[in-house]
Amino acid sequence: MMVKNWMESRYTIGTLVARSAAMRRLVDQATLQVQSENPVLIVGDIGTGKRLLARALHNSSDRVDRPFVTMPAERLVPDALETLLFGSSKGEIGAFERADTGTLLLTGVESLSPVAQERLNQVFESGVYRTAKQELRDCSARVLCTAHSGQLASLLAKGAFAESLYEKMSYSVLSMPSMAERNADIPYLVQDVLQTFAERERVPRPSVPYHYMELLTRVEWPENARQLRNHVESVMALSEGRFEPAILLAHFDQIESPQTLKGLVRDLLQRLVASPETAAASATN
């Protein structure tokens, strides 16, 4: 968790990988929201980087030196709702108070129970909240929300998510593109992972074998950027910072891809095994 938070703290809107047209459009839209006080709803499929974009908005704003508090919506069950959001008489401090003057990120808002939706709607409507000590406070935290776009849309269509709350939390909507829409970003996302690895381990940034990078750009990533990052990090960990052909082959066998790519995967990796000198080649160097 510490590594993840350290990685996220590095990102601003200007440092997000955005070589693809889809990501450039998103960055342009997000830049307009950096200094706003209004809520932002970030939607996208699993693993597209919704939380990362939220952190980049915070890091790029005047609130960067103030708290960034994350609250998963799935935790806001009725019995724990008041304590988690507003604190308890036993001295627990709620998320709104902890995020005071900073940013409060509500993740996965499609999981909000009807009770949680109603309570949050009240806070959005009034702009104030009451702590467990019965102190009335202004809601000075900027609220950002993330949601799985398809699931939230389905709930709205069924009337299972309050339209009034949706309107308040979606003053602006930013839509994260899938990996298929930002294929051009893959080499640079990989280099970003390797740079993070190098800084953390205090070693030179590893070079990427050409055939390996070619495969990364041609294989499907159903869980998007998160799956790509996890794959590269796993390979690096198992090969101690090197791209061992046998480890690459084993990892690609685990990735679900169209059958037409299965032969390509093995062909290119076998070439990598047969030509170890390509390990010095990097697709973006």
Nearest to 219 by CA among 182, 256, 244, 166: 256
What is the Cα–Cα distance from 142 to 8, expressed in whole angstroms? 18
Q: How far apart are CA 149 and CA 43, in angstroms?
A: 5
Kindly tell me if the per-residue pLDDT of 244 is higher than 60: yes
pLDDT confidence of 283, banded at 50, 70, 90?
very low
Lowest mean pLDDT among 89-98, 189-198, 201-210, 269-278: 269-278
d(CA 54, CA 30): 10
- For residue 100, give the amino acid letter: D
Q: With contact defined as beta carbons under 8 Å apart, do 73 and 106 qualify?
A: yes
> Of all helices (H) and strands (E), which one includes residue 260?
helix 259-274
Mean pLDDT for 139-155 is 95
- What is the reported pLDDT for 47? 95
- pLDDT averaged over every residue in the chain: 86
pLDDT computed for residue 8 by the predictor:
61
Yes or no: say if 172 and 38 are a contact pair by the CB < 8 Å rule.
yes
Residue 171 burial class via C-beta count within 10 angstroms: exposed 0-12, middle 13-18, buried 19 and up: middle
**Of 58, 149, 148, whose CA–CA distance to 108 is shortest?**
148
| pLDDT reported for residue 208 | 82
Q: How far apart (Å, rounded) are the C-alpha atoms in residues 151 and 165? A: 16
Tell me whether domains 2-177 and 180-280 share a fold: no
List all residues 6 or more positions away from 230 whose beta carbon is below 8 Å from its beta carbon: none
**Backbone φ and ψ of 277, nearest 5°:** -65, -20
Averaged over 61-84, what is the pLDDT? 96
Show me where the domains of the chain are located. Answer: 2-177, 180-280
The domain made up of 2-177 has a fold known as Rossmann fold (3.40.50)
Q: Which residue has the higher pLDDT, 240 or 72?
A: 72
- What pTM did the predictor assign? 0.86
Place 48 in a pLDDT band, splitting at 50, 70 and 90. Answer: very high
Q: Which CATH architecture does the domain made up of 180-280 adopt? A: Orthogonal Bundle (1.10)
